[in-house]
Amino acid sequence: MSLCPLDYRYGRPEMKNVFGKKRYTQRLLDAEAALARAHAQLGNIPQEAADTITEKANVDIVDWREVERVEREDTKHDIMALVKVLGCHCGDAEGHIHLGATSNDIIDTATALQIRDGLDIIERDLDSLKEAFKERAKEHRDTIMVGRTHAQHGIPITFGLKLAVYLNEINRHIARIREGKKRYVAGKMSGAVGTGASFGENAEKIQQLVMEDLGIGYEEASGQIVGRDRHIELMCLMANISTTLQRFATEIRNLQRPEIMEAAEAFEIEKQVGSSTMAHKKNPITAENICGLARTLRGFVVPSFDNNILWHERDLTNSSSERITLPHMFVLLDDILVKSETLVRNLEVFPENMKRNLELGKGLIMGEAVMIHLSGKGMSRQEAHERIRKASMKARAQDRWLKEVLMEDEKIMAVLTEDELDEVMDPERYIGRSREIVDEVYERV
């Protein structure tokens, strides 16, 4: 029986496979094989034994279901079950498996390999999303719309600039992943409490050889496990990425309101249904799905912090928690990144509605432009602000165009002509460096 929606509704097979039981078992076997090769290189075990262990440390030979059976019926210990099943296939080399290692040498090293594989997918997702934002930002470089603060009309902006803000944010996330990998992807091979005593005089060299073989970093000073501050930093980054995706999805949900309708999520198939009863509806279901899954993803952050608070060199309270938190965060983030790219690429944009909404406030949106112009004409900034404020309140109360009310202010009209006022109140002329910023971000990323 499938209980978790990740089994049947959310997530992609590629990321699920990284954290699935079969692939995880292979990563545990990879760690065991790398340890055997390190021992052989240092002369601790015969090379033939290392070769045999390496050959047999494969899930096509060591069935993960058999490992689970042995754990359940015999060892009540996952790594000892793995060692026992692997040993059954290794003949005389059996006695050289897991030499000097503690369980978490193998588990944490396998987890580091999973994190590396998962991050490769996440980074690829982010690169694809970045390209989608780049294309749409360039496309709408000149598309003028209302800029909003507090959900109220502020001053004009371009839709390209709005998208460039998200593009820049995504680019920072990519940089964070690339810079942080050296901390996130770290295993260990230092024995029961981190002293390396079980590995003898070559303990340091064994750890270096194993991790170099596997292509990952290692914990320079550990107790029984890799420091969970590494995992915490990674999970906080994934939560951070999710907030960017949720923020964009929320923006689209707001822009899709019928009274705004400046951008909208596209239906993915022709026969897509919006509502089981209200047949006219086109709901932003992908954007809403992104928001809901992003909330869920961030819920795993708090237990991740708690997983660093252990007794002495280590207890087992982190283990059960991490079996849930780490895979779920990776699967959820991959899922919402792919959905976000689809949302961006297929986004429907309505410039005509943007123009309509610019005029909705009857010129109020251009109050700042007039204030700045008046200041340039010699009026103090504070006086200009007060006059524009009063005129705006009057225009709103009387449902009139701001220009009409401004023209009734003799002090304003003493320094401005009507033609000049028309020019100053043209939204096209008050978008600042919107276009240039889009170009700069496009080129930089």
Residue 431 lies in a domain: no
Q: How far apart are CA 187 and CA 226, in angstroms?
A: 7
Q: How far apart are CA 87 and CA 95, in angstroms?
A: 8
Answer yes or no: do 369 and 333 share one domain. no
Secondary structure class of 153 (helix, strand, coil): strand
Answer yes or no: do 254 and 393 share one domain. no
Structure tokens belonging to residue 211: 């991790």
- What is the DSSP-derived secondary structure letter of residue 401? -
CA 230 to chain centre: 17
Query: In CATH, what number is assigned to the domain containing residue 288?
Result: 1.20.200.10
Residue 434 lies in a domain: no
CA 302 to chain centre: 17
Structure tokens belonging to residue 246: 């949720």
Model pLDDT for residues 8-29, shown as the tens digit of each residue: 899 999 999 999 999 999 999 9
Residue 86 lies in a domain: yes
What is the reported pLDDT for 413?
94
- End of a domain among 65, 96, 127? 96
Residue 443 lies in a domain: no
Residue 298 lies in a domain: yes
Query: In CATH, what number is assigned to the domain containing residue 50?
Result: 1.10.275.10
Q: How far apart are CA 28 and CA 35, in angstroms?
A: 11
Indicate the angle between helix axes 434-444 and 103-139, nearest 10 degrees: 140
- End of a domain among 356, 379, 400? 356
pLDDT in tens, the chain (445 residues): 788 999 889 999 999 999 999 999 999 999 999 999 999 999 999 999 999 999 999 999 999 999 999 999 999 999 999 999 999 999 999 999 999 999 999 999 999 999 999 999 999 999 999 999 999 999 999 999 999 999 999 999 999 999 999 999 999 999 999 999 999 999 999 999 999 999 999 999 999 999 999 999 999 999 999 999 999 999 999 999 999 999 999 999 999 999 999 999 997 766 677 666 676 668 889 999 999 999 999 999 999 999 999 999 989 899 999 999 999 999 999 999 999 999 999 999 999 999 999 999 999 999 999 999 999 999 999 999 999 999 999 999 999 999 999 999 999 999 999 999 999 999 999 999 999 999 999 999 9
Answer yes or no: do 221 and 136 share one domain. yes
Answer yes or no: do 56 and 170 share one domain. no
- Provide DSSP, 163-206: HHHHHHHHHHHHHHHHHHHHHHSEE----TTSS-GGGGGGHHHH
Answer yes or no: do 206 and 290 share one domain. yes
Answer yes or no: do 290 and 159 share one domain. yes
Flag whether the pTM goes above 0.85: yes
Query: In CATH, what number is assigned to the domain containing residue 380?
Result: 1.10.40.30
How many residues make up the chain in this entry?
445
| Half-sphere CA count of 109, side-chain side, radius 13 A | 32
- Residues 434, 440, 444, 445, Cα dihedral to 10°: 30
Domain of residue 399 covers 364-424
- End of a domain among 308, 340, 356? 356
Q: Catalytic residues, which ones?
A: 150, 275
Answer yes or no: do 401 and 375 share one domain. yes
Answer yes or no: do 119 and 241 share one domain. yes
CA 81 to chain centre: 36
Residue 275 lies in a domain: no
What is the reported pLDDT for 276?
61
Count of domains for the chain: 3
Answer yes or no: do 187 and 336 share one domain. yes
Q: How far apart are CA 83 and CA 143, in angstroms?
A: 63
Helix residue ranges per DSSP H, 261-417: 285-298, 301-306, 317-345, 351-358, 367-376, 381-398, 402-406, 410-413
Answer yes or no: do 250 and 336 share one domain. yes
Answer yes or no: do 225 and 295 share one domain. yes
Answer yes or no: do 249 and 146 share one domain. yes
Residue 263 lies in a domain: yes
Residue 240 lies in a domain: yes
